[in-house]
Amino acid sequence: MRVAVIFFFIVMFTSLVKAQVQIDIPQPYGNSFIESELIEEVSILPLKYEQYGLVRTDMEMKVDGEDYFILDNQNSQCVYHFNSGGELADTIRIPKGKTDKNRPQLNNPAWFSINPYDKQIEIYRFENSTINRFTYNGKYLGKIELEVTPSDFARNKKGEYWVYAGWNNSETQYRLIKTNAQGSVIGRELRLVSKCTPTEGFAFFATPDRILFWELLNHNVYAIENDIISQLYEFNFGAHNLPRDYHMMHSEESFTHINQAGYYSMKKVLENETFTYFFLNFSNMQQREMFHVLHNKNSGAVHVYTENSSIGAFDKAQYLTENNELVFLVSPRQIRRLLSSGTSFIPAPFANLPNEIRKYRNPVILKIKLQEGGADNTTPTEDDYFDDSDNDNMYFDY
């Protein structure tokens, strides 16, 4: 019996730490994103609203089908709901109120998520660790309190929350917290003992079948299915992988190290039945690089593309539709700059874009449709990748 139990835990550990797909980031880097052989066509959905500056391209957007939700976390503290025609359908805001006379008015939602299963918008307010729920058309449904401060959160089909706490969170050593629908903790996963600089970021993308989970500075992407966490992808950044003793470094030392040596950060992960999309940044004190990475699940091909980081016209995709469309929130001015600077020719799918986008001043939703064909363009050349024969998980308790 004891042997059987030990074998069970060995199998569980192996299934978690062994990624299904290994992705190397090649050097020299890949081709330009706009020259990708996967891009079939490009289309624009202009956003229709009267107030100039209402929407900025640095705002976070969530998408459910043809409903687009954009959070203004700096000025209005509202979620703007745009419909399939790009019209401003609803403005969703938390009812203002005071907790008591000694506390300031709470009106600053720090994070938001959508629950596509129940068609709800959920806005997290950090001052009192409260999630406020709304219907897609802005009807207020009530609130719940969380027991731990999230870096990001997502809700599964059963109404339970997965909460990401980040690295070196003063409240918990567990990066992944599960709560019930009322916000009470019912599970803790992925323990991490760390002294490094506290690190947070977006961490979830929910599909009808599962939730994808990643971390800003980690090189792994996981799937959460029926409460089982499995590792799907593992990135190899070569000499820029975090050192094995990173989590033993104190805050200031770890921050200095990554900025001097350079580091990759995973900003977004999206998927549909055909593709998984990743948006990565590389940064150090001298440079910044931006990457769009696509994995074709059917063929196994991996495509790595760079973007002109001095312009940053596309930045991260915000959604990947069932129709293989990457959805971006972009500035018309930045797109025009990209297509007119440093490009010897405009690729065919973008040929009509400069004239069309010239009509608009406000940010627009830009969709890039992908085709399944195309050769694998990854050609890793670095010879100094870490030897993974040693235990890289010495600071992680799964």
**Confidence band for 62, pLDDT divided at 50, 70 and 90:** very high
Summarised one tens digit per residue, pLDDT across range 318-331 is 999 999 999 999 99
Residue 264 and residue 251: Cα distance in Å, rounded?
A: 18
- Check whether 171 has a pLDDT greater than 80: yes
- Check whether 165 has a pLDDT greater than 50: yes
Order of strands across the sheet that contains 211-214: 21-24, 228-236, 220-225, 211-214, 204-206
What's the domain count of the chain? 1
Alpha carbon separation from 35 to 135, 137, 277, 303, 343 (Å, rounded): 40, 39, 17, 12, 10
Residue 2, pLDDT score: 41
- Check whether 67 has a pLDDT greater than 80: yes
**What is the percent of the chain where pLDDT is above 70?**
83
Instruction: Give domain status of residue 339, yes or no.
Output: yes
Instruction: Give domain status of residue 229, yes or no.
Output: no
Kindly state the average pLDDT of the residues 166-183: 94
**Confidence band for 12, pLDDT divided at 50, 70 and 90:** very low
Instruction: Give domain status of residue 196, yes or no.
Output: no
Kindly state the average pLDDT of the residues 178-182: 94
Q: In sequence order, what DSSP letters do the residues of 266-328 get, joined into one string?
A: EEEEEE-SSEEEEEEEEE-SS-EEEEEEEEETTT--EEEEEE-TTT-SS-S--EE-TTSEEEE
Instruction: Give domain status of residue 321, yes or no.
Output: yes
> For residues 220 and 264, is the Cβ–Cβ distance under 8 A?
no
Give the pTM.
0.86
Residue 277 and residue 319: Cα distance in Å, rounded?
A: 9
Residue 26, pLDDT score: 75
**Confidence band for 108, pLDDT divided at 50, 70 and 90:** low
Residue 300 and residue 275: Cα distance in Å, rounded?
A: 10
Tokens 């209402």 label which residue? 54
Point out the least confidently predicted range of 188-197, 292-301, 315-324, 371-380. 371-380
Instruction: Give domain status of residue 42, yes or no.
Output: yes
Residue 371 and residue 324: Cα distance in Å, rounded?
A: 7
The better pLDDT of the pair 18, 366 is held by 366
Residue 14 and residue 398: Cα distance in Å, rounded?
A: 10
Summarised one tens digit per residue, pLDDT across range 254-310 is 999 999 999 999 999 999 999 999 999 999 888 889 999 999 999 999 999 999 888
Instruction: Give domain status of residue 346, yes or no.
Output: yes
Instruction: Give domain status of residue 314, yes or no.
Output: yes
Residue 398, pLDDT score: 42
Residue 105, pLDDT score: 53
Summarised one tens digit per residue, pLDDT across range 77-98 is 789 999 999 999 999 987 665 5
Alpha carbon separation from 142 to 69, 194, 280, 342, 390 (Å, rounded): 19, 36, 36, 51, 50
Residue 207 and residue 20: Cα distance in Å, rounded?
A: 19
Structural domain harbouring 278: 26-57+262-379
Mean pLDDT value across the chain: 85
Instruction: Give domain status of residue 214, yes or no.
Output: no
Alpha carbon separation from 377 to 219, 220, 303 (Å, rounded): 20, 21, 5
